[in-house]
Amino acid sequence: MRLRCAVLDDYQGVATEVADWSPVADDVEVVGFARHFADEDALAAALADFDIVVTLRERVPFPASLLARLPRLKLLIASGMHNTVIDYAAAEAQGVTVCGTPSASTPPVELTWALLLGLARGLVTENEALRAGGPWQSTVGADLHGRRLGLLGLGKIGSRVAQVGLAFGMRVSAWSRHLTKERAEEFGVELAASKEELLSSSDFVSVHLALGDRTRGLIGAAELALLKPTAYLVNTSRAAIVDQDALLTALHEGRFAGAGVDVFDVEPLPADHPMRSAPRLLATPHLGYVSRANYEAYYSGAVEDIQAFLAGSPVRRLG
């Protein structure tokens, strides 16, 4: 009897197209789910008859309470090699092997710049006006050359965002709690004296920090108030780093020029979520890692994980 493998959040229905699943076809039946399950009850019911689950990034939590309701589950594969929403201790206790996959940091870098450029040049506003027979030019674009780009975080993603900013002729500075001047200088970036100095002096601010106890709510009402009236804020990292209520208030009150956001406190966003109608907001449905090359890496890696698991030698184990 073949094992059953569920692929969660396969919104585009491409999981079995972007990778070759034939190496495990004789042993595994693959079922993709294009819709997101809103709660644990619905998810537990949908996954009850599956031995393997492939989940994208950190979109679906796997706490002990859910794992306990999945007695058939033997292999849980999470795309990438870092996942904070899986209870590893509970998985181990239940005999569930957890594995990761290859992942690239370039797709979120590219989306960051898509949002930043879209905001700077009013692309959505101008495109909608052009298609609807509206005014011919109604916005005045913000320049990048010579302006200051402030990065919260200078890791794999932040450092690549910095390189693009420098190519545009921007002055780039960065800040995080443990960032050193030497590390910043490796990338031709200035070390900001403080988070507050970075926020108050930057024309564009982009968030590239991991979510943790020290970064949750790092940007609240007081920090947003430091932004220039002409500044833009971009967050492709984690929603909880920026206080969502404070962000909505600032956008409605027009305290700064606008925000580009790819991450939200609830995903997918409910139809009536205030982020869907917020002014001065360019928003995308968590597309940071959604690129063909990355999906090929995720699902090809999942196939490799399944092969190794079936052979009794799991690879890329997490936890």
Residues with active-site annotation: 238, 267, 286
| Number of residues in the chain | 319
State the amino acid at position 51 in one-letter form. D
**Computed over its alpha carbons, how large is the radius of gyration of the chain?**
21
Give the up-direction half-sphere exposure of residue 131: CA atoms within 13 A in the CB hemisphere.
6
Helix (H) or strand (E) holding 279: none
Yes or no: say if 232 and 257 are a contact pair by the CB < 8 Å rule: yes
Direct distance between the N- and C-terminal alpha carbons of the chain, in angstroms, rounded to an integer = 29
Q: Which residues contact 74 (CB under 8 A, 6 or more apart)?
A: 3, 51, 52, 95, 96, 97, 309
Yes or no: say if 285 and 268 are a contact pair by the CB < 8 Å rule: yes
Question: Quick one: which of 153, 222, 225 has its CA closest to 189?
Answer: 153
Yes or no: say if 71 and 91 are a contact pair by the CB < 8 Å rule: no
Question: Quick one: which of 232, 123, 113, 212 has its CA closest to 161?
Answer: 113
Yes or no: say if 78 and 86 are a contact pair by the CB < 8 Å rule: yes
C-alpha dihedral sign at 284, 287, 292, 295: negative
What are phi and psi for residue 172, nearest 5 degrees? Answer: -115, 130
Give the up-direction half-sphere exposure of residue 175: CA atoms within 13 A in the CB hemisphere.
17
In the chain, how many H helices and how many E strands?
Answer: 11, 12
